[in-house]
A = this chain, B = another copy of it.
Amino acid sequence: MESSLLGAKQLLLCCLFLLWVLAAVAEAKTVHEQWEISYQFTHSDCVRKLAVTINGGTPGPTIRAVQGDTVVVTVKNLLMTENVAIHWHGIRQLGTPWADGTEGVTQCPILPGDTFEYRFVVDRPGTYMYHAHYGMQRSAVPIVWVGEPQSLLINGRGRYNCSAMAPDAAACNATHPECAAQVFAVVPGRTYRFRIASVTSLSALNFEIEGHEMTVVETDGHYVKPFVVKNLNIYSGETYSVLIKADQDPNRNYWLASNVVSRKPGTPTGTAVLSYYGGRSSPRAPPPTAPPAGPAWNDSAYRIGQSLATVAHPEHAHPPPPRADRTILLLNSQNKIDGRIKWAINNVSFTLPHTPYLVALKHGLLGDFDQRPPPETYNHTGYDVYGVQANPNATTSDGLYRLAFGSVVDVVLQNANMLAPNNSETHPWHLHGHDFWTLGYGVGRFDPAVHPATYNLRDPVMKNTVAVHPFGWTALRFRADNPGVWAFHCHIEAHFFMGMGVAFEEGIERVGDLPEEIRRCVSTKGGGH
């Protein structure tokens, strides 16, 4: 699945791959990529607009590699005044924490005219994505509420409802080839693996291939115990592999459809087309039916069901450690600071330091961020997750959690009501540098005295991104065994930007010498405050 530095659109990028890593079948090699980042006019959803592109296109190139290969991506920033940073989402960066591409955490941004080399080993097969990790660059919008409708793209193609918004007529060209629906042509009787990723900036999606059941077999680089679905809920930052059998009437086409769920949708269905070779239908002909509308947008139970059904494949399971050395409870709440809406974790809204943590910690620039760690928990016995917080005020901090190297850490993410009554959103949390075991999901208030006993310690799947459902909680466990500093945050880009994240340090003393290129924004005198 390929991500990208894309326009202000909700995206579902299907069946292109950033890193389609296969189990090693030959000796390790080096995969070289030369990228130039520039603005180009595109018509991804039929509307002419500027997009940040890689080598002139969007989505960016697919990278194919096998386990053990070294990937080297030389990124040249040809933007005129804008910096960039690219994150390799799902790649653990074992031994190369400086290549994680997370501005403020692992590197300074790449300045216009500069070239930056990302070099890392892919240590595991799977489906991974890459995307910008700097400000709101992933969605290339400023921090304003862009609202709906937007366009849902599949493989970078979608269709804006021109008549609904009456934009500049000259800029909207419904027949532009760049926004023609992607067609997937299949041979009758064969089975296909679709690699699916979501890089939406906001929305949770449900993906369906009309008339074709999907067997879910992989998520975030881990095989799962196969299960069959009519449609797949997928959250920003997640990847899945599904198998479909081309066993339907070959003489008509079928919709691929992505629909917004978890928020009342104002955005039309994103579509592509499945067509059979040898059938009587033209590959580009629209299917004779209306695109699938997906499940009810507010059916949380349906989505939790999929979360619970996603467990490790018996032959590919990594059993979790039986207990944690440390448990961190993280309350997700919407707050206000100086009258502005923020997100906060345990009532602390996260801000990134100017000096990347990795540089500050490795070089002893301890004045460059708040040395007090954020709170380890919240008032979990008294908090009403269904009510509006009486005092929504929060503070900001760029402090981080320091973890004992090699220790086992449990994190429980507790969702809650937002500032508006009867409102709670799904938050897909993404952990850099690690996979975690998904031990449990629940609805309502998490009770540390009760719920840990319900954890799935038998066959939890490992993931790097997991949903925290409305009014619910999600428990996960990981081993802090990857030297570096790692972001952990809601993958809704605006939410992270508004404070919904934390950072973990572990084994900083084991990190090798940092490349000079990651610390170009750091004063040689120290001090970034």
Would you call the interface of chain A mostly helix, strand, loop, or mixed?
Answer: loop
Shortest Cβ gap from A103 to chain B (Å): 9
Query: Which residues on B sit within 8 Å (CB–CB) of A525?
Result: 516
Range, interface on chain A = 35 or more
A249 at the interface (CB under 8 A from B): no
The listed residue with most B CB atoms (<10 A of its CB), out of A113, A136, A165, is: A113
The listed residue with most B CB atoms (<10 A of its CB), out of A82, A354, A528, is: A82
Residue among B39, B142, B516, B524 making CB contact with A80, cutoff 8 Å? B142
Residue among B83, B109, B168 making CB contact with A168, cutoff 8 Å? B168
Residue among B82, B136, B516 making CB contact with A524, cutoff 8 Å? B516
- Excluding A80-B134, A108-B111, A517-B523, 10 further A-B contacts by CB distance (< 8 Å) are A39-B142, A80-B136, A80-B142, A81-B82, A81-B83, A112-B135, A114-B521, A165-B168, A166-B168, A516-B523
How far, in whole Å, are A39 and B136 apart by their CA atoms in the complex?
13
How far, in whole Å, are A135 and B77 apart by their CA atoms in the complex?
13
Q: Are A50 and B142 neighbours in the complex by a CB distance under 8 Å? A: yes
A144 at the interface (CB under 8 A from B): yes
Q: List 7 A-B contacts (CB under 8 A).
A: A39-B142, A41-B144, A50-B142, A80-B134, A81-B134, A165-B168, A167-B168
A420 at the interface (CB under 8 A from B): no
Contacts A114-B354, A516-B525, A523-B516 known; A109 to B80 CB distance under 8 Å? no
How far, in whole Å, are A269 and B50 apart by their CA atoms in the complex?
28
Q: Are A524 and B521 neighbours in the complex by a CB distance under 8 Å? A: no
Interface string of A104-145 (1 = CB under 8 A from B): 000011011110000000000000000000111100001110
How far, in whole Å, are A113 and B81 apart by their CA atoms in the complex?
15
Query: Which residues on B sit within 8 Å (CB–CB) of A144?
Result: 41
A520 at the interface (CB under 8 A from B): yes
How far, in whole Å, are A112 and B112 apart by their CA atoms in the complex?
13
Query: Which residues on B sit within 8 Å (CB–CB) of A169?
Result: 166
Q: Are A109 and B111 neighbours in the complex by a CB distance under 8 Å? A: yes
Interface string of A156-176 (1 = CB under 8 A from B): 000000000111111000000
Query: Which residues on B sit within 8 Å (CB–CB) of A39?
Result: 142
How far, in whole Å, are A80 and B135 apart by their CA atoms in the complex?
5
Query: Which residues on B sit within 8 Å (CB–CB) of A81?
Result: 82-84, 109, 134-137
Q: Which residue of B lies closest to A353 (CB)?
A: B113
Contacts A166-B168, A169-B166 known; A521 to B111 CB distance under 8 Å? yes
How far, in whole Å, are A167 and B520 apart by their CA atoms in the complex?
41
Interface string of A359-393 (1 = CB under 8 A from B): 00000000000000000000000000000000000
Q: Are B143 and A80 neighbours in the complex by a CB distance under 8 Å? A: yes
A window 45-80: CB within 8 A of B: 50, 80
Q: Are A113 and B80 neighbours in the complex by a CB distance under 8 Å? A: no
Q: Which residue of B lies closest to A528 (CB)?
A: B113
Q: Which residue of B lies closest to A81 (CB)?
A: B135
Shortest Cβ gap from A348 to chain B (Å): 19
Query: Which residues on B sit within 8 Å (CB–CB) of A143?
Result: 80
Shortest Cβ gap from A432 to chain B (Å): 19
Interface string of A238-278 (1 = CB under 8 A from B): 00000000000000000000000000000000000000000
Interface string of A16-45 (1 = CB under 8 A from B): 000000000000000000000001010000
